[in-house]
Amino acid sequence: MIKFFRKIRQNLLMENLSAEQAGKTSKYFKYAIGEIVLVVIGILIALQINNWNEGRKENKKEKATLQRFLNDLKADSINFQTNLNYINAIDSLHFKMFTYSQKQDSTITFQNPTYIRRALIYIPTARENDPEITNKINHHIIREEIQNYFRSMNLVSDSKNEFEDVVFKIREFIRNKKLHRVNDWFESNRNLKSTSNNYNNTLIIKKEELFLLSNDAEFQQLLLESNLKLIEAKNSFEDLITSNENLIQLIITYLKN
C-alpha cells in the first residue's frame, strides 16, 4: 500500500516538472520569436530610411539636371524666335517681289534685299548638351514632353534643310546672273573684323536689280518653291516654340515643388 501511494506521488511530481519545463520552453520560444520580429522590423526600417535617402539624392540630382536643361531651353527659345523673325522678314520680301512682278509698282520698298539668299541659323543647345536626358528623368510626364520636344526639333531640322536647298539654288541663280555686287562688298567691309556681325549685307544685291529679277519666269518658280518651303519651316518653328514654352513651364512648376 505504501509503495502504491509513493508511486502516485512520484507521478504527480513528474507531471508538475514536465508542465514547468513546457511552460519555460513556451516562454523561450515566444521570446525568440519576438526578438526575430524586432530584428526584421529594424531591418525594414533601415531599408526604408536608406531608400528614402537614395530617393532624395536621386530627386536632387534629377532637379539639378532639369535646371541645366531649363537654362538650355530658354536659350533655345531665343534662337527659335530669332529664326521666326527672319522667316517673317524673308516671307515679306518674297511677297513684295511677287507683288512687284505683278504690278511693277516702284513704290514697293524693303530693307534687306539680301534676305533672298539668306539661310536660317538653327543652333539648338538643349538636346546637343544632353542628348540622353530622357534616360535621366523619372518624372514620366516631363520625360514624354521632352521626347515630344525632340520630335518637333527633328521636324524643324528637316524643314530648315529643305528650305536651304532652295536657297542654294537661288544663290546659284543670282551668281550665274552676275548680280552680286563684288566691289561694294569688299570696299564696304574690308575694314571690318571677321567676327563682326555688322556686315552691310544689303550691298551684296541691289534692290533695283532684285526687282528686275522678280520678272524672270525661271526665278519666279524658284521664288515660289522657296516660299513654300519657308512656310513649312515657319509652321514647324511655331510648333516647336509652343512645345518649348510648354516644357519650360512644366519644368519650372516641378522644380518649385
Q: What is the pLDDT of residue 29?
A: 61
Instruction: Show pLDDT as tens, one digit a residue, over the chain (257 residues).
Output: 555 445 555 554 455 545 555 455 555 666 667 778 777 887 888 777 777 666 677 788 888 999 999 999 999 999 999 999 999 999 999 999 988 888 877 777 777 888 999 999 888 899 888 889 989 888 999 999 999 999 999 999 999 999 999 999 999 999 998 888 888 777 766 555 444 444 455 568 877 888 888 889 999 999 999 999 999 999 999 999 999 999 999 999 999 88
How many Cβ atoms from other residues are within 10 Å of residue 102's Cβ? 10
pLDDT at site 72: 95
Reading the block at residue 189, the C-alpha cell is: 567691309
Question: CA-CA distance, 250 to 62, in Å (whole number)?
Answer: 14
What is the structure's pLDDT at 7? Answer: 57
Given this model, what pLDDT does residue 172 score?
94
Q: What is the pLDDT of residue 102?
A: 86
Q: Which secondary-structure segment (H or E) carries 129? A: helix 126-129
Q: Where are the domains of the chain?
A: 64-256
**CA 34 – CA 42 distance, rounded (Å):** 12
Distance between CA atoms of residues 177 and 191, nearest Å: 28
All three cell numbers of 89, joined, read 522678314
Residues with Cβ within 8 Å of residue 154, at least 6 apart in sequence? none
- Site of grid cell 529664326: 83
Run of H or E including 107: none
